[in-house]
Structures are given as structure tokens and as C-alpha cells.
Amino acid sequence: MHEQKTPFIRLAKRDAMPGGQVWCIRALSFVAALLLGAAIFLVLGRNPFAAYATIVSGALGKPTAIRQTVRVAIPLLGTALAIAPCFKMRFWNIGAEGQITAGAVAASYFALFWCDALPGPLLILVMAAAGAAAGGLWALIPAFFKARWGTNETLFTLMMNYIIIGVVKWLQGGPWEGRPGSQIIPQFDQKAVLPKVLGVHCGWIIVLALTVFMFVYMRYTKHGYEISVIGESENTARYAGMNVGRVIMRTMFLSGAISGIVGFMVASGANNTLYDGVAAGVGFTAITVAWLAQLNPFAMVGISGLLAVLEKGADTLHTRMSVPASISDIITGIFLFCMLGCEFFINYKLIFRGRHEEVSKA
């Protein structure tokens, strides 16, 4: 009699799912994203197979293409690693964009004005240290207010992005401008450029080292333990005698410092100069990378690689099949939605109407 009041589908929390099934669901979501992307290509009147083939060959087909893809992946991975401890702590740092830029500004200062005073390797080291310090301090400002008065960190860190980007615009057209009226900061001296290893600036070695460091830091150190306790429950952490404010500030400084190093690598290794688009949205995309990897540093390597392939491949798609370049953002978005959504099927199970017995037996 109450049959019509039972919803057609009900939800229940699942206990831990076997690992194989989890990966099965993730693979399915990947396939779903591919199919949705294919639908978009069909709407545009392009052959989806050809389009995907172009993306893959454009990103991985030639050694030069692979190098460019790696160059896209480096800042993405580095920033995702930087964000991971903050998110583990449930501190929503969406200011990596600004922290990258702050690091790039500090590194550029030394590249531009200390070039003659310092010998080559030392200059690079000083640039890296300055980048880390500046990124860290830029992140420390919102962390301080969060720790002291609970100021909303999501918007604080976001606003800090626009502030530092505005500062770069001012530097570009003002004090650091190269040729008057050009609005461009001059190229760095060769001494201030990161050396290349295997054809790509050596940033890739740095981020891979950082990957291992972050894995160990989050999993096997006291700091990492404190971060995860605070993320689970701030009250528990306080009860256990942890100084929550100090951990927040320390973690944010570390996070900002890594972002700052990414800024240094991009300015010195990839662009050889500083401009207002130095972060180029990496700070935002990296958040999704970190989250999709479930804050596991090694998984981030794969996911940042995947997004880099998409972005580089979409560039090729743009030139070869005259599809607007913004298709990469659309496809990236679709992948993110699918992969975010699929966690639901891992954590919950659906119960269809009229199948109670089966469920109670299970």
C-alpha cells in the first residue's frame, strides 16, 4: 500500500570496496568522459577517432612533442604537490596561482638585477631560494589570519592571486619594463636560465624529487600526521595538544614555498622572462589534479600527465583540424566532472525498488 512511496532508487553507504572494483569504476568513468568528448566532436562535425588520434599523436607522437607535453606537466605536478598538504588539512588554498606568481617575481628580481654579481650556479640557487621564500610568505598571510581569527581562506587566497598579478602588470609596464613602451620585461641572461636535461629544463627532476619528498612527508613524518589529524577533526587535534594555528601556518608556508619554486621554474626554465600570465591557470587546474589523485603524490604524476596530454594535444587539434583551442578546457572539464562524479559509485550503492531481499542478504 505504501509501495508508491518507496523511491525508485535508494542510496546506502558502502563499506570498503575491493580495490579491483574501485579501479574498474574509475576506468569506466574515464571511458564515459571519452564518449562525452566524442559526442562533442560529432556535434562539431569532426570524426572523434581522428580527433583523439590527433590529440595523442600531437602530444606524444614526436620527441619534440613529448618534451613540450612534459613542459606542460611540470608546473601542474609541482603545484598539485604544493596544494596536497593544505587540502589534506581541509585548508582550501586556491591561491596557488598567486603563490606561483610571487615566486616568479622574486626569482626574476635576482635574474634581472643580480645577474652580473653572482656566478652562474649560485645565481640559480639564489633564484630558487628567493622564489620559495616569496611564495611561502605570500601564502603565510592568509594562513596567519586563518589561524588567528578564522578568516575565510578560500576567498582570501583567491584575492591574493589578483593582487600579485596586478603587481606584475605594474612591474611589466613600469620599473622592470625593457624597451620603453613595450610593456615587456626583458629576457633573462643565459646564466639565469635553468639548464636542460634530455631536452627539457631540469624542473622535471625537481618535481619528481618533490613527489617522493611529499609522499614521505605526508605519510611518514610527524608533520604529516598532524596535518591529517587536523584535517579529520580540528577538535581532536586541539585535544591532543597540537598547536593548530602553528601547523596551519607551517603547512601553508611549505605549500606556498613549493608553488614559489614552480614559479621560479616556469619563469627561468620555460619562459625565460616574467609576465602577468606566468601561472596561466595552473593554480586552479592543479587543485583538481590533487583532488582526483586523492592527495596521493604518485597518482598526481599520472593525472598531471593526462591533463598535459589533453592540453598539448588540443593545441595540435587546433592547428590541424581548426577546432578552437579552448576545446582543451572543455575536454578537461568533462574529465574532471566524470572523475569527480565516479567517486560516488565507490562510496555509495544504489538500491532499486523491490529488491530488498537481495540487499538484506548481502
Q: Which residues pair with 196 in a beta bridge?
A: 201
**Complex with other proteins: residue 169 or 320, whichever CB lies closer:** 169
**Complex with other proteins: residue 181 or 241, whichever CB lies closer:** 181
Among 244, 87, 239, which residue's Cα sits nearest to residue 153?
87
CB of 146: closest distance to other proteins in angstroms? Answer: 9
CB of 156: closest distance to other proteins in angstroms? Answer: 5
Q: What is the CA radius of gyration of the chain?
A: 23
HEC string for the chain: CCHHHCCCEEEEECCCCCHHHHHHHHHHHHHHHHHHHHHHHHHCCCCHHHHHHHHHHHHHCCHHHHHHHHHHHHHHHHHHHHHHHHHHCCCCCCCHHHHHHHHHHHHHHHHHHCCCCCCHHHHHHHHHHHHHHHHHHHHHHHHHHHHHHCCCHHHHHHHHHHHHHHHHHHHHHCCCCCCCCCCCCCCCCHHHCCCEECCEECHHHHHHHHHHHHHHHHHHCHHHHHHHHHHHCHHHHHHCCCCHHHHHHHHHHHHHHHHHHHHHHHHHHHHCCCCCCCCCCHHHHHHHHHHHCCCCHHHHHHHHHHHHHHHHHHHHHHHHHCCCCCHHHHHHHHHHHHHHHHHHHHHEEEEECCCHHHHHHC
**Complex with other proteins: residue 322 or 360, whichever CB lies closer:** 322
CB of 180: closest distance to other proteins in angstroms? Answer: 15
CB of 324: closest distance to other proteins in angstroms? Answer: 4
CB of 83: closest distance to other proteins in angstroms? Answer: 11
CB of 345: closest distance to other proteins in angstroms? Answer: 8
**Complex with other proteins: residue 226 or 276, whichever CB lies closer:** 276
**Complex with other proteins: residue 221 or 347, whichever CB lies closer:** 347
CB of 353: closest distance to other proteins in angstroms? Answer: 17
Residues written for the chain: 362
**Complex with other proteins: residue 92 or 253, whichever CB lies closer:** 92
- How many C-beta neighbours within 10 Å does residue 238 have? 14
Q: Could you tell me which residues come within 8 angstroms of residue 201 by beta carbon, excluding any fewer than 6 positions away?
A: 71, 74, 193, 194, 195, 265, 268, 269, 270
CB of 111: closest distance to other proteins in angstroms? Answer: 21
**Complex with other proteins: residue 62 or 90, whichever CB lies closer:** 90
**Complex with other proteins: residue 173 or 245, whichever CB lies closer:** 173
Residues 18 and 256: their CA atoms lie apart, in Å, by 36
CB of 164: closest distance to other proteins in angstroms? Answer: 9
CB of 278: closest distance to other proteins in angstroms? Answer: 15
| Binding interface with other proteins (CB under 8 A) | 11-13, 92, 94, 145, 149-152, 154-156, 158-160, 162-163, 166-167, 169-170, 173-174, 281, 284-285, 287-288, 291, 322, 324-330, 332-334, 336-337, 340-341, 343-344, 347-348
**Complex with other proteins: residue 150 or 241, whichever CB lies closer:** 150
Backbone angles phi, psi at 242, to 5 degrees: -80, 145
**Complex with other proteins: residue 140 or 194, whichever CB lies closer:** 140
